[in-house]
């Protein structure tokens, strides 16, 4: 007995991590269905050492599924999430397709787990950059309130998928060998021009909107307001892609509302916060880096400093594996919350 779980996008950067995270989930699993495109049908992947054949995603794939984890792009979620819900599954969607839908809870379990109670079939997993920032800031918000957030990101290439990682590695090889190469995917598969990511930094993630912000930046802004249930929080973001495989880093500036905060008190809050690991000891050169964070589920925080001019202003450096807490692990945690709160019954 246990849940029947579907993973849509099982061959992708996030989907393959979802399979690994499900192996560690705190709920019983009867069966895992691995779904991708027709191209992958017949390929095999391992779950708990057992080979499972990957199938093409169709509406009928979701018969008897209890929980469906989606990470195959927004258009696939739009097409198939309603089909999964129609067949009685709860969908946990890792794409941006439903995040700002008022009927859809947007959940980081350490921050707003209770929001899943109001789901109507679909629960959205926030953007990877938003998730790690929420995990780091919620303990501070709870204690002191937050007036303003200004964040600049240093984002890993795996957030753009398996093919973008391959593009970066090929470019790096070609550059070192003085061979010609072309950029075909980054900064955004959907935009007109493409630029090298190897040995570079690209201040564009996703497409530009009319006011000069990218959609990635607006995701961080809008999702933060929704998750913290606070439309009044002042927030701005600059999102940059850097040539790192996995692990997003963020320079986060905050202004707290209440008096009484200090570097030491913020460190104490984060030392005891769920999902956070404090790595903050500059005298011993201790601070988080993407290479160290890759493969781990925690959000790492260091470099906490008081602003030199702004009385209630603080700076910090926040790092987490974008494929794990930023995507696959947060999705599996949401499934754990559904189980823990008794919100999904296995159909069996």
Among 68, 72, 107, 328, binds ligand A2P (CB under 6 A): 72
**How is 25-36 classified by DSSP, letter by letter?**
-SS-EEEEEEEE
Set 119, 194, 239, 248: catalytic member: 248
CB 233 within 8 A of CB 256: no
Query: What residues does 278 pair with on adjacent strands?
Result: 301
81 binds ligand A2P (CB under 6 A): no
175 binds ligand A2P (CB under 6 A): no
Phi-psi region of 266 (alpha: psi -120 to 50; beta: other; left: phi over 0): alpha
Among 76, 237, 254, 261, binds ligand A2P (CB under 6 A): 76
84 binds ligand A2P (CB under 6 A): no
Query: What residues does 150 pair with on adjacent strands?
Result: 236, 253
**C-beta neighbour count of 39 within 10 angstroms:** 10
248 noted as active-site residue: yes
Please state, in angstroms and rounded to a whole number, the distance separating the CA atoms of residues 148 and 84.
39
**Total binding residues for ligand A2P by CB under 6 A?**
17
Whole-angstrom CA distances from 92 to 50, 67, 121, 263, 292 are: 24, 7, 9, 36, 28
- Between 162 and 242, CB nearer to ligand A2P: 162
Q: Which residue number places its CB atom closest to ligand A2P?
A: 12
159 binds ligand A2P (CB under 6 A): no
- Say how many CA atoms lie within 13 Å of 61 toward its Cβ: 27
Q: How far is the CB of 233 from ligand A2P (least distance, A)?
A: 30
303 marked among binding-site residues: no
CB 235 within 8 A of CB 221: yes
Among 3, 4, 5, 11, binds ligand A2P (CB under 6 A): 11
289 binds ligand A2P (CB under 6 A): no
In the complex, which residues of this chain contact ligand A2P (CB under 6 A)? 9-13, 15, 36-37, 39-40, 57, 72-73, 76, 161-163
Catalytic positions are 128, 248
């Amino acid at each position: 007995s246990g849940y029947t779980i579907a993973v849509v996008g099982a061959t992708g950067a996030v989907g393959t991590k979802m399979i690994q995270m499900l192996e560690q989930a705190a709920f019983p699993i009867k069966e895992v269905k691995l779904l991708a495109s027709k191209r992958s049908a017949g390929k095999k992947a391992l779950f708990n050492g057992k080979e499972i054949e990957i199938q093409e995603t169709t509406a009928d794939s979701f018969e008897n599924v209890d929980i469906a984890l989606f990470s195959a792009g927004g258009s696939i979620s739009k097409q198939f999430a309603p089909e999964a819900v129609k067949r009685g599954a709860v969908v946990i969607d890792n794409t941006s397709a439903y995040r700002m839908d008022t009927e859809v809870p947007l959940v980081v379990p350490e921050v707003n787990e209770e929001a899943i109670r109001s789901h109507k079939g679909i629960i959205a997993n926030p953007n990877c950059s938003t998730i790690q920032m929420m995990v780091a800031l919620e303990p501070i918000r709870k204690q002191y309130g937050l007036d303003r957030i200004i964040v600049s990101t240093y984002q890993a290439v795996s957030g753009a998928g398996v093919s973008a990682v391959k593009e970066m590695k090929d470019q790096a090889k070609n550059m070192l060998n003085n061979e010609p190469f072309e950029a075909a995917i980054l900064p955004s598969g959907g935009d007109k021009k493409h630029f090298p990511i190897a040995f570079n930094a690209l201040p564009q993630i996703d497409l530009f909107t009319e006011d000069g912000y990218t959609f990635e930046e607006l995701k961080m802004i809008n999702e933060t307001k929704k998750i913290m249930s606070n439309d009044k929080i002042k927030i701005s973001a600059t999102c940059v892609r850097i040539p790192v495989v996995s692990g997003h880093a963020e320079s986060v500036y905050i202004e707290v509302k209440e008096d009484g905060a200090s570097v030491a008190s913020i460190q104490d809050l984060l030392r005891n916060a769920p999902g956070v690991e404090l790595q903050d000891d500059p005298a011993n050169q201790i601070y988080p880096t993407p290479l160290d964070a890759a493969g781990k589920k925690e959000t790492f925080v260091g470099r906490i400093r008081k602003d030199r001019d702004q009385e209630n202003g603080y700076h910090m450096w926040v790092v987490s594996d974008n494929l794990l807490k930023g995507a696959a692990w947060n999705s599996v945690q949401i499934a754990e919350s559904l189980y823990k709160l008794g919100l999904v019954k296995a159909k069996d």
